[in-house]
């Protein structure tokens, strides 16, 4: 694990990029507090960072990007903050639909969308369906998502198939279990980035992160720039990934 306060000038090998980058977009509230602004201003600034970083990921040719947007625990926040986050998400998805042919992302969602307002569920479904024609760069938005909740969801689905006779618990493999996860069909992340100075997973991609490389920086998410992404990739490229071997 690496903690970097100010990343050095990155030297990135464009021939050996991670296939899948996941980001815990943390620090919006602290960014706003430092500026004596409402927390919603931090989330708004963070959404602009998301646009820039997603564009950079696509330009680099990295095919998978997963973003932790709203966790199952985030419902505990003040109702006005939750409402502001959901409104930002609506705006982002409407813009995604409007600019789909220009940006060309395939957008998918990990999480239990049934807890969202019906109009937002419908918008997520529409974006997911329309964007299927752009598989070159897939953006996965974790929404009402928790790693433990995902595993429980998958276990219940597998158990139901066992009861129905379409699955055999004695024959279960990791590969088969992964087909029950929200992330089915998506390779595990190679690199997980967490801005804001915190050094924990916070219930993010618990199954999928088994062999991910972690990169921490104290830069708050709204201040995270393209150079910071390159610094994280550069650090990743210095690691020796053995996957349990020698």
Question: Per residue in 65-98, pLDDT tens?
Answer: 999 999 999 999 999 999 999 999 999 999 999 9
> Is residue 244 assigned to a domain?
no
Beta strands per DSSP E along the chain: 2-4, 20-24, 64-71, 106-110, 138-145, 191-194, 213-217
Better-scored residue on pLDDT, 209 or 7: 209
> Is residue 242 assigned to a domain?
no
Q: Would you call 26 a catalytic residue per the annotation?
A: yes
> Is residue 22 assigned to a domain?
yes
pTM over 0.85: yes
Question: Per residue in 178-187, pLDDT tens?
Answer: 999 999 999 9
Q: Would you call 74 a catalytic residue per the annotation?
A: yes
Q: Which residue is catalytic, options 13, 28, 74, 99? A: 74
> Is residue 243 assigned to a domain?
no
Q: Assess contact for 208 and 189: CB atoms under 8 A.
A: yes
- Domain count along the chain: 1
Q: Mean pLDDT lowest for which of 4-13, 23-32, 99-108, 150-159?
A: 4-13
Closest C-alpha to 154, from 179, 185, 118: 179
Q: Assess contact for 45 and 27: CB atoms under 8 A.
A: no
pLDDT of residue 215: 98
Q: Which residue is catalytic, options 26, 149, 190, 228? A: 26
The rounded distance, in Å, linking the Cα atoms of 230 and 51 is 16
> Is residue 128 assigned to a domain?
yes
> Is residue 246 assigned to a domain?
no
Six-digit token pair at 205?
A: 């991609």
> Is residue 245 assigned to a domain?
no
CATH of the domain at 38: 3.40.1180.10
pLDDT of residue 122: 97
Domain that holds residue 75: 2-237
> Is residue 203 assigned to a domain?
yes
The rounded distance, in Å, linking the Cα atoms of 229 and 93 is 23
Percent of the chain's residues with pLDDT above 90: 92
């Amino acid at each position: 694990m690496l903690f970097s306060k100010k990343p050095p000038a990155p030297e990135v090998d464009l021939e050996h990029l991670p296939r899948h980058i996941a980001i815990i977009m943390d620090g919006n509230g602290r960014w706003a507090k430092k500026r004596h602004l409402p927390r919603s201003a931090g989330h708004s600034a963070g959404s602009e960072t998301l646009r820039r970083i997603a564009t950079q990921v696509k330009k680099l040719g990295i095919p998978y990007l997963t973003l932790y947007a709203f966790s199952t625990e985030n419902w505990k926040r003040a109702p006005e903050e939750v409402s502001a986050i959901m409104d930002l998400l609506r705006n982002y998805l409407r813009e995604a639909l409007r600019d789909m042919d220009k940006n060309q992302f395939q957008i998918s969602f990990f999480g239990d969308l049934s807890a969202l307002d019906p109009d937002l569920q419908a918008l997520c479904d529409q974006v997911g369906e329309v964007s299927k024609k752009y598989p070159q760069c897939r953006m996965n938005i974790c929404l009402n998502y928790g790693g433990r909740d995902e595993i429980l969801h998958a276990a219940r689905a597998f158990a139901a198939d066992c009861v129905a006779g379409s699955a055999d618990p004695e024959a279960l493999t990791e590969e088969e279990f992964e087909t029950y996860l929200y992330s089915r069909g998506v390779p595990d992340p190679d690199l997980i980035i967490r801005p804001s100075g915190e050094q924990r997973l916070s219930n993010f991609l618990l199954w999928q992160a088994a062999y991910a490389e972690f990169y921490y920086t104290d830069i708050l998410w709204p201040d995270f720039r393209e150079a910071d992404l390159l610094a994280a990739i550069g650090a990743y490229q210095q690691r020796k990934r053995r996957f349990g071997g020698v």
